[in-house]
Amino acid sequence: MLLVVCCFCCEELEYRTKKQRDDETKNLCELSQWSRDAMRSNTEKLDQAERILKMAELTRKLDTEQESVVPFYASTLTPEEEEQVNFLLLPPPPLLSLSLSLVSFTKKRKKGRYAR
């Protein structure tokens, strides 16, 4: 009877060991596949980055002097549009702000705030 129990324990142990080995083999295969995919993806990205850098070097050699000095594109706005944009972006000139403050002062004076 002891021999039968021992045999059963050995078979159970062998089964568990084999199952664990199979599971680990499967995990190793998956890990290897993921590693290959990652290497392939990184290699493709590296190749693309190298091509971009080579193209940048070639285009830098072909740049004209104006493009080297002013790398931005020329404005496509008409002179009227540029004037409108400048008017909206620039602060008011000092005389205009002075006249506006005088207008507000006279309005307040008329209301009696600055009466003598």
Q: What is the pLDDT of residues 67-97, one digit of tens each?
A: 666 555 666 677 887 777 777 776 666 555 5
25 in a domain, yes or no?
yes
- Residue 59, domain member (yes or no): no
73 is a domain residue: no
In a domain, 17, yes or no: yes
Please state the rounded mean pLDDT for residues 60-72: 66
Would residue 2 count as lying in a domain?
no
Residue 21 lies inside a defined structural domain of this protein: yes
Any domain includes 74: no
Q: Flag the least confident range among 47-51, 64-68, 87-91.
A: 64-68
Domain assignment of residue 18, given as a range:
11-51
Torsion on CA atoms 49, 51, 52, 55, rounded to nearest 10: 160
- Average of per-residue pLDDT values in the chain: 76
Who's near 77: CB < 8 A, 6+ residues apart?
85
- Structural domains in the chain (count): 1
pLDDT value of residue 110: 59
pLDDT at residue 115 above 60? no
Domain assignment of residue 33, yes or no: yes
